[in-house]
Each structure stands twice: as structure tokens, then as C-alpha cells.
Amino acid sequence: MISERFTSYWTRFWMRYAGLSPTGRLATRLAVQFAPPFQLREYLRMLNPQGYISPEAILYHSKLRLGRHVFIGDRVMIIEREGGGAIELGNGVSVWGDSQLEVGQGGEITLGDRTRVNRGVQLLSYLAPIHIGRDVGLSTNCLLYSFNHGIAAGRPYLEQPLETNGPIIIDDHAWIGMGSIILSGVHIGEHAVVAAGSVVHHDVPAGAVAAGNPARVGKRRQAANDETDGPGLGSEQGSAEARKLVER
């Protein structure tokens, strides 16, 4: 039986050489041989300033910019299509497995520090950007599309040009509930909450709670000026847990 001391040393050794280069991707693959699965791998981001990028992630982007200690999980796809702009992930950003970030035709995506993109989220930016602030939570299976297909009569929709109502902007500390859809031209303010399963095509003010299809503001949060909504990934508590794992 392999000892915990050996597996810890093995992981820390190979994570020193992890990165975006082919050699760095190979080092990451070796590092995870004895690492636990899924979110239990979060501590790996703290073992290298470049963070942790799963060897199963697909990174096909010439203008990708990554902050320090990011986490990119299994089967994440970061794709640049013709005319696509930059994709930028701030410090401590988490993109969990099976999510998709894609840009084309002038689109771009920015994620602020400590923002969390949970499993199965799709961020597709064409014609207009998607800008997401700091410490934002995008729950499982959220969809953010900054474009749509034209639907003029007499032509199949796939033959029609893309259209947009403008950028998607989500300000700091907002929380988007599971399975929500955010359409182009929407601005969601600081500390706002979008309930699970909502379809948002109008702005949501700061500190408001919106729900439904179409989403409507039902109330305002009582503590809209809180600095954060809980410990979360990248918080002081989360970092303490990571340090504990690193130092074991």
C-alpha cells in the first residue's frame, strides 16, 4: 500500500512543474495520479502560482489570460472561434467540470477574482462581451448567451445572422441560481440573486432577488451591503482549508 506521505510528496513535486505548456500539462497528469477527485482537488491550485488546470480540460484559445491560483476542472472547454476576443480569468477563479467558455465574432469573456463557475455552465460570447465581476457564483447548468439567431420569416434560423441586445454584465458578489438563463443585454447588479430556473432578459438592480420566467424582482436582500455571501471558494476560510491540505 502506498503511504500518504509518498503520495503527498509526489503530488507536490509534479505540481511544481504544472502549467499550460505540453510539459506542464504532462506534469499535471502525473501530479493527479494519487489525488482525490472533483472538488477535493481544489487544494492543488495552491501548489503552483499558475493554479490547477485539469489534464482533461480542452484549451483552444490564443488569447487566454489566467490569474494566479485558478482552478480549471475536468472536461472544461475554452474555445476561440473566428473573430473571438480574449478570455480572462482573474485570481482564484474556479471553473468546474463540463463547463464551456466560447468566444467568436467580437465576443470576449472576463471573470473577476474568486468567481465560481459550477458544473455544466455555458458562457458563449458572440457580437457582445460577457463581463462578470468579483466573487460571483454561477450555479450548475446556468446558460449565458450574449447573442441570438435572427428569426425573420421565410428563412431557416441557421441561415440568418446572429443578433444581440448588448453585453451581459454581472456585478460583484451576485449569485445566479441553478439552471438560470441570462440573455443578451442584461445587467445584474451587485449582491443581486437570481433564483434557480429563472430566465432573465431585463436588468436586475443591485441587492434585488429576481425569479421566474420571465424573471421579475420580488424583493430586496436585507444585507445587500455585505462584503460576501459566505465563505465560498477563494475566501479566507476556503484558503485556510487549502493551506491545511497543502501542509499535511
Task: Determine the average pLDDT of the residues in 226-238.
Answer: 41
Predicted pLDDT at 80: 98
Q: Which of 171, 197, 207, 175 is nearest to 186 (CA)?
A: 171
Predicted pLDDT at 248: 38
**Three-class SS state of 234:** coil
Q: Catalytic site residues?
A: 149
89-130 pLDDT tens trace: 999 999 999 999 999 999 999 999 999 999 999 999 999 999
pLDDT band at 23 (very low <50, low <70, confident <90, very high): very high
Residue 79 in this model has a pLDDT that exceeds 90: yes
Predicted pLDDT at 157: 85
Predicted pLDDT at 223: 54
Residue 230 in this model has a pLDDT that exceeds 80: no
Min mean pLDDT across 138-142, 194-198, 234-238 is at: 234-238
Long-range CB contacts (< 8 A, 24+ apart) of 11-15?
11/35, 11/44, 11/47, 12/47, 12/246, 15/44, 15/47, 15/48, 15/52
Q: What does the alpha-carbon distance between residue 146 and residue 127 come to, in Å, rounded to a whole number?
A: 7
**Three-class SS state of 244:** helix
Task: Determine the average pLDDT of the residues in 51-62.
Answer: 97
